[in-house]
Chains A and B, each alone.
Chain A
């Protein structure tokens, strides 16, 4: 077979833009299920040695299949056909599909290894991490002691304590630690290629960015080739040398990173760039992409993107465009579109202009006064008022610790005071484990604080619950509602949408009849964009898409006529392109239903979109405390707390100049244990500008002199002894020395 196809192979090489020293050559490769369903179609790509190739695609676009194909590990009963050639650093090329089982077993992990999305589910829960390393080394006949030495080195390079990690069970590590341990495990046999399938999707942004920085370092140190597959375009853009976009089981566009971001030629790529929430983009121009990617059984006959493409012509409907060079002189950038020039002209990239506009307009001032008046200067009783609230959990202990140790107390929330006003909007922002969800639940009276008080219109909620309050507890309970992160598990799968919604209606309007209830649900569903409402009412939750489920959850909360709704990471489970739509909907409904919103998120760009559009505040949380609070504008453009600055750094943007800029402005990757938070300022262990004073003294939230909001940092006080004390180990004198921007 090799002989008679050699000429056609070389043709392909020309047409697909030669890379100089390919480590993988993938030719006409397809994955087929049941003989007809093709989940990867005629892919022709080469991967360069020592490059980082970022592959972006929506869920269900076949990107994971591509990852599995590189290891010839397609899940049964899928069939992999085509030609995948691997070029080892020395020796003849390997035909991947021609390997015997034993050869394939050795090839995997020794030459090409893989990192999966869920680190937790990639480890055997009943085995220590170290045992995973040992058995891998044994299975490949390597010396265990040497291999473990290398593993320790890898773990150390990933900012982990090797001994502690190797001696832990998977569940004893945080998500970020697990993911890094998994990366070390995948590199323990020193492979040439690392295939990463959404390796950071389950982590919060700061950890994602930190891991990416570490990956970049590892790639250079160990001469790796990395194939990084994700749905998150801006994330991988900061890391990749080349980028490829997969749409409907084929590559839509591939080229150097800067070309793809700055000069994309496929309408889908350009739409994807415009649909990304982006700290620097003007808000009005973020647009979701209409429609959904095709299912494998109903791929359009012409161009795959044609049904969703605003520029589609007759040619697009009939002829499938090949993946060909965009410009004649540059063969490295290839796109599967008939009209690349039109696409570039017609679809403007919104972040380009954004930069100019923002640069010229002075960033801080504009919306401040409004926030001030509403949030700070209202004299009326606030809707919800937290006073010095603490929530501490006592952790369950094992049999032996029972008798030897004191019970461990997790300080989820510590000393937080916060007022929420009528029709207010507050975003709680922070890393996972910082207590933002606990604080949110405390705010709506779902979590009893262990210390301090929470008042609803001047009435202590927990006193009302115990039976002595002027406002009955039932009234408070129905006034404070929640939307959960995962709408799938928040809706009863055995009840129709009509039943789910009428539950709340029956509570708020006990006297209206069945028809009236139905009419109200009908009009609300139409209002939230679920038409035809009649049809949706009779469906079960599993018949809805993720976005529709979240709309139903929102409708259910709204039907209670609440005064405040807690949206707990409510859009994280929704596809990126739909997030803005849901956020817009929530904002519109806020004014219509006159409710307040508490929006919990780990994503600064989402929080910013929400807070800026709703004219609200962002509260940054760290280890159970609010460290900075203020308007979105001020937080983005003039962050005062070093931690806010870190979050700002972790938020991916598509600005080419700042991309890949430097190390994280952090001295430690992991959050300290909330059981034993650091003394003084809790951030001092990671803070890049920490000084000796931060070790001992605890900063209080203080009003910012020349801006809105409050911040808990000594650097705000020009007379504080902070300025005279010595920087701690690893910290720098001035923040300018660590930030790239």
Chain B
């Protein structure tokens, strides 16, 4: 079967599988959220005969209908982007996600790109000066960064820069009282609040990117075509960009898109530490509050992003590396 068709068909299938799992968890776990919701409603003094109707209104699920009926209802809801009502926040899950997702995407994309660029530059310099003092010191540094988890940096930054020196805020995405607008005040406030999380999230990833790039760079520098390019009298700049950098970065491209997906799920602890109102922050809240609909909504979003990221990487790699589109990588 056609590879690309197959690849495209896999996306809805994967999402369907995750949604089904989501539904299964909600419905089948003992002591699940509906038991809790029913209890809450009863405690609030809602008459017992109205409880089911209320639950249905809140969660687009009819607790008394047969399981398959409920499953279909839920799936139709998901397809219409109706993920139910958050129990703890008492508003539609989709609203919560719409509010929090942009912040998380902002954090993740900015930090991943920063991490990639800085890592690639450091790695490239290391490859060029292989064996130099700079190379040895940065290699050690990279390994150090690689082995320290990002939340350690997050806690350290928070403690020293935010609490002790009070250079940065300790929570939230914007200062109170600053309205969302295209004003400079708003943007600077956003940046000010995002600096520490981005810094912590970036710094931990630089190590592995730099080491990766260093390895690729050294390999490419040893290639014959670089030697031939030098003999042909090309300028060092051109060799560095068109020959070394391009061929060294190419294999890291797929990894980059994957990384964005993975790091999206990795923001849970980060946003909790900085009280940053992103997806991860709400996910922790949902876990603590036993707010299954919200949790599952977050879970679905992260999955979809990861699946789409990998899909884009798969489809575009052939466009970026001319060797792939010709099917050269396929061995008969």
User: Which residue numbers of A lie inside 8 Å of B, CB to CB?
Assistant: 71, 73, 75, 105-106, 108-110, 113-114, 116, 118, 121-127, 135-136, 139-140, 169, 171-172, 185, 393, 395-399, 402, 412, 438
The residue in chain B whose Cβ has the minimal distance to the Cβ of A135 is B234
Q: For A136, what are the chain B residues with a Cβ–Cβ distance below 8 Å?
A: 232-234
In the bound complex, CA of A424 to CA of B319 (Å): 49
Q: Considering only CB atoms, which chain B residue lies closest to A105 in the complex?
A: B233
Residues 292-332 (chain B) with a chain A CB within 8 angstroms = 315, 318-319, 321-323, 325-328, 330, 332
Closest to B4 in A: A402
User: 8 Å CB contacts to A: which residues of B231-256?
Assistant: 231-235, 238, 242-243, 246-247, 250
The smallest C-beta distance from A111 to any residue of chain B, in angstroms, reads: 11
Q: Are B246 and A109 touching (Cβ within 8 A)?
A: no
Distance in Å: Cβ of A195 to nearest Cβ of chain B: 10
Contacts of A124 in B (CB 8 A): 225, 229, 242-243, 246-247
Is the CB of B224 closer than 8 A to any CB of chain A?
yes
CA distance A35 to B255 in the complex (A): 44
Give B65 Cβ to nearest chain A Cβ, in Å.
Answer: 43
Partner pick for A139 among B4, B232, B315, B322, CB 8 A cutoff = B232
Query: How distant is A617 from chain B, measured CB to nearest CB, in Å?
Result: 27
Residue of B nearest to A168 (CB): B322
Among B223, B229, B321, B328, max chain A CB count under 10 A is at B229
Query: Which residue of chain A is the closest to B2 with respect to CB atoms?
Result: A402
Interface centre among A171, A185, A438 (most CB of B within 10 A): A171
Docked Cα-Cα span, A121 to B224, in Å, equals: 6
Considering only CB atoms, which chain A residue lies closest to B232 in the complex? A136
Question: What are the residues of chain B within 8 A of A399 when measuring CB–CB?
Answer: 4, 315, 318-319, 325
Q: Which 10 interchain pairs have the tightest Cβ spacing? A: A396-B327, A398-B325, A121-B224, A169-B322, A105-B233, A139-B233, A122-B228, A136-B232, A396-B330, A139-B234
Chain B residue nearest to A116 in the complex (CB): B224
Q: Are the CB atoms of A123 and B225 closer together than 8 Å? A: yes
Chief secondary structure at chain A's binding surface: mixed
A338–chain B nearest beta-carbon distance, Å: 40
Q: How far is the CA of A140 from the CA of B234 in the complex (A)?
A: 8
* Cross-interface CB contact of A398 among B5, B233, B242, B318, cutoff 8 Å: B318
The one of A118, A140, A395, A438 that contacts B224, using a Cβ cutoff of 8 Å: A118
**Nearest CB on A from B117, distance (A):** 20
A113 near B325 with CB under 8 A, answer: no
Q: Are B327 and A397 in contact (CB under 8 A)?
A: yes
A110 CA / B332 CA spacing, docked (Å): 43
Q: Decide: A140 and B228 in contact? CB cutoff 8 A.
A: no
A interface footprint on B236-278 (CB within 8 Å = 1, 0 otherwise)? 0010001100110010000000000000000000000000000
Instruction: Quote the shortest CB–CB distance from B99 to chain A (angstroms).
Output: 36
Q: Is B68 an interface residue (CB 8 A)?
A: no
CA distance A412 to B247 in the complex (A): 32
Secondary structure class of chain B's binding surface, majority of residues: helix
Which B residues are CB-close (under 8 A) to A412?
A: 332
What's the Cα separation between A108 and B231 when bound, in Å?
A: 6
Chain A, Cβ-Cβ closest to B246: A126
User: In whole angstroms, how far apart are the Cα atoms of A113 and B330 in the complex?
Assistant: 35
CA distance A396 to B1 in the complex (A): 11
The complex places the Cα of A140 from the Cα of B328 at a distance, in Å, of 34
Q: Are B326 and A108 in contact (CB under 8 A)?
A: no
Inter-chain contacts of A116 with B (CB < 8 A): 224, 227-228
| B183-239 with Cβ < 8 A to chain A | 223-225, 227-235, 238
Known A122-B225, A125-B323: A106·B247 in contact at CB below 8 Å: no
B326 / chain A contacts, CB cutoff of 8 Å = 169, 171-172, 398
A272 to chain B, nearest CB (A): 27
- Residues on B with C-beta less than 8 A from A123 are 225, 228
Given A171-B323, A402-B2, the answer on whether A135 and B238 have CB atoms closer than 8 Å is yes
Which residues of the partner chain B approach A126 to less than 8 Å between Cβ atoms? 246-247, 250, 321-323
**Complex interface: chain A residues within 8 A of B246 (CB):** 124, 126
Query: Which among A127, A395, A438 is the interface contact of B242 at CB below 8 angstroms?
Result: A127
CA gap between A171 and B328 in the complex, in Å? 8
Beyond A123-B228, A169-B322, list 15 extra A-B contacts (CB 8 Å).
Answer: A106-B233, A108-B232, A116-B227, A116-B228, A118-B224, A121-B223, A122-B225, A124-B225, A125-B322, A126-B321, A126-B322, A136-B233, A185-B232, A393-B332, A398-B318
In the assembled complex, which residues on chain A have CB atoms less than 8 Å from the CB atom of B234? Answer: 135-136, 139
Given the known interface contacts A118-B224, A125-B247, the answer about A108 and B323 at a Cβ–Cβ threshold of 8 Å is no
Q: Can you name 22 A-B residue pairings with CB atoms under 8 Å?
A: A73-B230, A73-B231, A109-B231, A109-B232, A121-B224, A121-B225, A122-B225, A123-B228, A124-B247, A125-B322, A126-B247, A126-B322, A126-B323, A135-B238, A139-B235, A139-B238, A169-B323, A171-B322, A171-B323, A393-B332, A396-B3, A398-B326
User: B114-149: which have CB < 8 Å to A?
Assistant: none
Determine the distance from Cα of A402 to Cα of B327 in the docked complex, in whole angstroms: 12
Q: B328: which A residues are within 8 A, CB to CB?
A: 171
List residues of chain B with CB within 8 A of the CB of A109. 231-233
CA distance A210 to B233 in the complex (A): 30
Contacts of A395 in B (CB 8 A): 327
Min Cβ gap A619→B in Å is 21
Contact assessment for B327 and A398 in the assembled complex, using a CB-CB cutoff below 8 Å: yes
Most buried by A among B230, B247, B315, B322: B322
- Which has the most chain A C-beta neighbours within 10 Å: B4, B232, B235, B332? B232
**Complex Cα distance A140/B238, Å?**
13
Smallest beta-carbon distance B226→chain A, Å: 8
